[in-house]
């Protein structure tokens, strides 16, 4: 039996009186690709941010490789968080550093990887996302799609056990969405464990092992993409799908 990479139990999160996550119990197994979909404001970002404790849960457990993060001190949380790569809607690259420096920074600072090794690895990752010829460019010279591919390479440089994506393509011009989704699909094929919040239903159908449909603070459905898209079970999911498909 392999341990789940992430396990949440009775997770709840409120902002003041606003109960955003009400009661979520789910697991992410090694190598699984989970796609989280659902209406805007339904708590998807809050949920994915709770997985690495960027948001502090109000109640419940969030375990990473069997360790409940909510019981650990900040230092231990930071240590485990290194193993969880995160890519957001905005690219958050450091504007005053080259692409290569952006990727080398965390491994050198946090993991004390030496310069030569970090440089070598950064070039490998840039090749993987098709941008090695931009190693010495500054982020401002990149397109949105290129910047997001660099952000993915930067997250991968820490050798994460899981990659968390929160709407990584929503801020992109339409013609750049595909290049980012392709990189993500390759990552999935290579066996990376992933939790992806996205509105890209083609990606969800093709790449997800499980769809988690989230609305009103609950995971309302947890199903295979085939089942979910062909036979949504809840009125909430039927209504959502009727609006987007
Ligand atoms: P989604 O990503 O599905 O659109 P969010 O998790 O961003 O949903 O938001 C869910 C709810 O939580 C919204 O009502 C939003 O206003 C609220 N919320 C999210 N983050 C915060 C915060 N930092 N402070 C207060 N309310 C927040
Ligand atoms: Mg969101």
Q: Is 44 a pocket residue for ligand 1 (Cβ < 6 Å)? A: yes
Regions in the chain scoring below 50 on pLDDT: none
**DSSP code for 213:** E
Closest CA to 135 of 159, 170, 86, 100: 100
- Residue 145 domain flag: yes
- Residue 203 domain flag: yes
Q: Name the closest-CA residue to atom 14, ligand 1.
A: 41
Q: How many domains does the chain have?
A: 1
pLDDT computed for residue 214 by the predictor: 98
User: Which pTM does this prediction carry?
Assistant: 0.97
Atom in ligand 1 nearest the alpha carbon of residue 166: 2
Query: How far is ligand 2, taken at its centre, from the CA of residue 168, in Å?
Result: 10
In percent, the amount of the chain with pLDDT more than 90 equals: 97
Closest CA to 47 of 19, 72, 17: 19
84: left (phi over 0), alpha (psi -120 to 50) or beta: beta
Q: Is 43 a pocket residue for ligand 1 (Cβ < 6 Å)? A: yes
Distance CA 85, CA 39 (A): 24
pLDDT computed for residue 90 by the predictor: 87
Q: Is 45 a pocket residue for ligand 1 (Cβ < 6 Å)? A: yes
CATH number at residue 12: 3.40.50.300
Closest CA to 203 of 223, 222, 186: 186
Q: Where are the alpha helices (DSSP H) in 20-164?
A: 44-51, 74-81, 99-111, 115-128, 144-156
pLDDT computed for residue 245 by the predictor: 72
Distance CA 90, CA 84 (A): 18
Range of the domain at 226: 6-243
ipTM: 0.98
Q: Name the closest-CA residue to atom 19, ligand 1.
A: 46
- Residue 44 domain flag: yes
pLDDT computed for residue 244 by the predictor: 86
- Residue 229 domain flag: yes
pLDDT computed for residue 91 by the predictor: 75
- Residue 185 domain flag: yes
- Residue 161 domain flag: yes
Q: How many CB atoms lie within 10 A of CB 213?
A: 24
* pLDDT tens by residue, 112-130: 999 999 999 999 999 999 9
**DSSP code for 90:** S
**Which residues make up the environment of ion ligand 2, defined by Cβ < 5 Å?**
44-45
- Residue 1 domain flag: no
Q: Is 40 a pocket residue for ligand 1 (Cβ < 6 Å)? A: yes
Pairing mode of beta strands 59-64, 33-37:
unpaired
* pLDDT tens by residue, 94-109: 999 999 999 999 999 9
Copy the structure tokens of residue 181.
């989704």
């Amino acid at each position: 039996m392999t341990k789940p990479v992430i396990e949440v139990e009775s997770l709840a999160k409120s902002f003041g009186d606003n109960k955003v996550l009400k009661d979520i119990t789910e697991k992410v197994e090694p190598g699984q690709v989970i796609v989280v979909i659902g209406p805007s404001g339904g708590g998807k970002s809050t949920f994915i941010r709770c997985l690495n404790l960027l948001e502090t849960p109000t109640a419940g457990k969030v375990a990473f490789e069997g360790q409940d993060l909510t019981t650990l001190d900040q230092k231990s949380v930071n240590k485990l968080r290194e193993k969880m790569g995160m890519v957001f809607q905005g690219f958050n690259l450091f504007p005053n550093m080259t692409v290569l420096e952006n990727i080398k920074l965390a491994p050198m600072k946090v993991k004390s990887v030496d310069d030569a090794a970090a440089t070598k690895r950064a070039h490998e990752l840039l090749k993987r996302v098709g941008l090695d010829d931009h190693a010495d460019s500054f982020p401002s010279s990149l397109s949105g799609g290129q910047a997001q591919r660099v952000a993915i390479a930067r997250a991968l440089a820490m050798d994460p056990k899981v990659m968390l994506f929160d709407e990584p393509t929503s801020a992109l011009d339409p013609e750049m969405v595909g290049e980012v989704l392709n990189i993500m699909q390759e990552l999935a094929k290579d066996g990376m464990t992933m939790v992806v919040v996205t509105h890209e239903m083609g990606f969800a159908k093709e790449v997800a092992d499980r769809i988690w449909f989230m609305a009103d603070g609950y995971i309302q459905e947890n199903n295979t993409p085939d089942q979910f898209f062909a036979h949504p079970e809840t009125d909430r999911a039927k209504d959502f799908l009727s609006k987007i498909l």
